[in-house]
Amino acid sequence: MEKDLTLHWLSVPGYEKVLYFKQPSVQLEGYIAIHSTQRGPALGGTRFWPYSSQDDALTDVLRLAQGMSYKAAGAELPLGGGKAVLIGNPNLLKSPEYFHAYAQVINQFKGSYITAEDMNINTEDIRLIAEKTTHVVGRSDKSGNPSPWTALGVFYGVLATLAFAFPHRDLSSLSFAIQGVGETGFHLLQQLVEHGAKNITISDINPEKVARIQSRYPFINVADDHTLLSLPVDVLCPCAFGGILNAHTLPTIQAKAIAGSANNIFLDLEKDPQRFHEAGILVAPDYIINAGGLINVFHEFNNDLDPKRLTVEVSKIGERLSRLYQAIKKTEINPFTYSLNQIIGTF
Ligand code: NAD
């Protein structure tokens, strides 16, 4: 172990292990949190972000680690939930030495934490981490970019949502609004078009992303971001950022169903899910619908890279959502407030 590496284990209620680490010689600083290994090793990516304080980083890693437990349980994978955050400016700090040092921190968990990509961590960074630890997935020479698999799972989730909300209508008769046409939104749009959707409106703050869609699919409508949320469409697909469903946006939203890739779609997890439920808007839980990428890296972890088997597993996201919607209908329990054991019990 490097002489200037500091490890500080924190006791956080509800979490199995939380580690703060710092190695000034390579400007490495961050947290790894394991929320649960009840179902297996905790798998969750590493996020690299210039957090304004240690507290902000800790709050983020705890929330993300818990989210991974839910996602793994909702995908019926033998995995627990964990996550890591690296504090600092990724553009300034990345180096082979930096990632080698980080890999040694991952090794402290002896395989109970497995890392992967998240914001500002790409396949090249993963390759460097993999030079010093085996507890890493998402390598470009293995499962590669998870986004198309996430989008495929979202597509199956959208189909399940439609079957529940609009039982007698097909894709060609429904209207869609997609917020964000980056990695996942773009692939979701492709799937929708290939399966007959005709009435689609998109928004993206990046004009290049909009132009890519317009050149390929000239019939797609484009809206500005503010207008998109309030369009009178059947289905809204949030594929950009979280927190867009809240008390402020609820009165403007006209969609009957909401299903997309974005993580943490509700701003206030205590109050917003119930508000949308009472307004009669069906919202697909993010931790179920966007698990395709996790299923993809799990297959790498299991040394199974067969795309056909993976497609079958990702398509099960649709079946799981259908089961969940039926359960909500019977019990009226909001799935966004499920405990981990309730999720495990549902699937
Ligand atoms: P991305 O960065 O490739 O795409 C996001 C797109 O949204 C970008 O084109 C960006 O310009 C656009 N955008 C940002 N703010 C916007 C706004 N206000 N209005 C309209 N567009 C806006 O990201 P992604 O990989 O597609 O991820 C999208 C969401 O899905 C995120 O919430 C992410 O956490 C979640 N997610 C992604 C994966 C995955 O495998 N990529 C897996 C699970 C969850």
Q: What's the per-residue H, E or C state across the chain?
A: CCCCCEEEEECCCCCCEEEEEEEHHHCEEEEEEEEECCCCCEECCEEEECCCCHHHHHHHHHHHHHHHHHHHHHCCCCCEEEEEEEECCHHHHCCHHHHHHHHHHHHCCCCCEEECECCCCCHHHHHHHHCCCCCECCCCCCCCCCHHHHHHHHHHHHHHHHHHHCCCCCHHHCEEEEECCCHHHHHHHHHHHHCCCCEEEEECCCHHHHHHHHHHCCCCEECCHHHHHCCCCCEEEECCCCCCECCCCHHHCCCCEECCCCCCCECCCCCHHHHHHHCCCEECCHHHHCCHHHHHHHHHHCCCCCHHHHHHHHHHHHHHHHHHHHHHHHHCCCHHHCCHHHHHHHC
pLDDT of 113-157, one tens digit each? 999 988 889 889 999 999 999 999 988 777 777 889 999 999 999
Mean pLDDT of the region 291-305: 91
Report field, pTM of the whole predicted structure over 0.85:
yes
Residue 76 has what pLDDT? 93
Candidates 64, 261, 297: which one to mutate for ligand 1, based on the most atoms within 8 Å of Cβ?
261
pLDDT of 56-79, one tens digit each? 999 999 999 999 999 999 999 999
Mean pLDDT of the region 163-181: 95
Determine which residue's CA is closest to atom 12 belonging to ligand 1: 180
- Residue 141 inside a domain? The answer is no
Determine which residue's CA is closest to atom 33 belonging to ligand 1: 262
Q: Among 130, 159, 188, where does a domain finish? A: 130
Is the pLDDT at 182 greater than 90? The verdict is yes
- Residue 138 inside a domain? The answer is no
Mean pLDDT of the region 200-226: 96
Cβ pair 176, 199 in contact under 8 A: yes
Residues 166 and 73 in one domain: no
- Residue 160 inside a domain? The answer is yes
Residues 72 and 186 in one domain: no
Candidates 46, 121, 150, 181: which one to mutate for ligand 1, based on the most atoms within 8 Å of Cβ?
150
Compute, in angstroms, the gap from residue 207 CA to the centroid of ligand 1.
14
Number of domains in the chain: 2
Residues 74 and 193 in one domain: no
Compute, in angstroms, the gap from residue 347 CA to the centroid of ligand 1.
27
Q: Report the CATH number at residue 46.
A: 3.40.50.10860
Q: How confident is the model at residue 168 (pLDDT cuts 50, 70, 90)?
A: confident
Candidates 70, 184, 186, 258: which one to mutate for ligand 1, based on the most atoms within 8 Å of Cβ?
184
Is the pLDDT at 36 greater than 70? The verdict is yes
Compute, in angstroms, the gap from residue 185 CA to the centroid of ligand 1.
7
Is the pLDDT at 221 greater than 80? The verdict is yes
Is the pLDDT at 345 greater than 80? The verdict is no
Ligand 1, atom nearest to 146 Cα: 40
Residue 48 has what pLDDT? 96
Residues 282 and 158 in one domain: yes
Compute, in angstroms, the gap from residue 206 CA to the centroid of ligand 1.
11
Cα–Cα distance between 186 and 81 in angstroms, integer?
28
Determine which residue's CA is closest to atom 30 belonging to ligand 1: 262
More confident residue, 59 or 269: 59
Q: How confident is the model at residue 1 (pLDDT cuts 50, 70, 90)?
A: low
Angle at alpha carbon of residue 211, lines to 206 and 214, rounded to 5°: 135
Which residues are marked as active site?
A: 83
Least confident of 60-69, 184-193, 196-205, 324-333: 324-333
Residues within a 6 A CB radius of ligand 1? 146-147, 150, 179-185, 203-206, 209, 225, 239-242, 261-263, 290, 293
- Residue 211 inside a domain? The answer is yes
Sign of the dihedral defined by the CA atoms of residues 306, 307, 310, 311, in that order: negative
Residues 169 and 214 in one domain: yes
- Listed residue (79, 111, 65, 64) closest to 296, CA to CA: 79
Domain around 55: 6-130
Residues 116 and 165 in one domain: no
Average predicted confidence (pLDDT) for the chain: 93
- Residue 112 inside a domain? The answer is yes
Mean pLDDT of the region 19-25: 98
Residues 325 and 245 in one domain: yes
pLDDT of 310-335, one tens digit each? 999 999 999 999 998 988 877 777 77
Compute, in angstroms, the gap from residue 202 CA to the centroid of ligand 1.
13
- Residue 297 inside a domain? The answer is no
Ligand 1, atom nearest to 241 Cα: 32
Is the pLDDT at 7 greater than 80? The verdict is yes
Identify any residues that bridge with 176 across adjacent strands, giving them in sequence order. 200, 235
